[in-house]
Amino acid sequence: MGNILQEIFLDNYEEFMMTTHPRQAVIDNVNKMIECGNPSFGGAMYGCTKCGTLKFVPFRCHSRFCPTCGTQ
């Protein structure tokens, strides 16, 4: 799993939706943050030209709400 905020929202998603009735923009950003770094949504494979080691890097959400991607 990713960061603690993802876990909190996953564990409390239904309650969050029912009690706060967020705008669609908020829902979109929460959903992006929850799926951030999920390898099932794709990524990029990088390889070392010298040793041939491969590394998979999952795509990120680039949402300001996400603690991994957001900017200060």
Is residue 70 within 8 Å of residue 61, measured between CB atoms?
no
Q: Is residue 38 part of a domain?
A: yes
* pLDDT string in tens for the chain (72-residue length): 568 888 999 999 999 999 999 999 999 999 999 999 999 999 999 999 999 999 999 999 988 888 888 764
Q: What is the pTM of this model?
A: 0.72
Q: Is residue 36 part of a domain?
A: yes
Which residues constitute the domain of residue 14? 4-58
Q: How many domains does the chain have?
A: 1
Q: Looking only at Cα atoms, what is the longest distance across the chain?
A: 54
40 Cβ contact list (under 8 Å, min separation 6): none
- Identity of the residue numbered 70: G
Is residue 58 within 8 Å of residue 51, measured between CB atoms?
no
Nearest to 42 by CA among 54, 28, 69, 60: 60
Is residue 33 within 8 Å of residue 6, measured between CB atoms?
yes
For residue 52, what pLDDT is reported?
A: 93
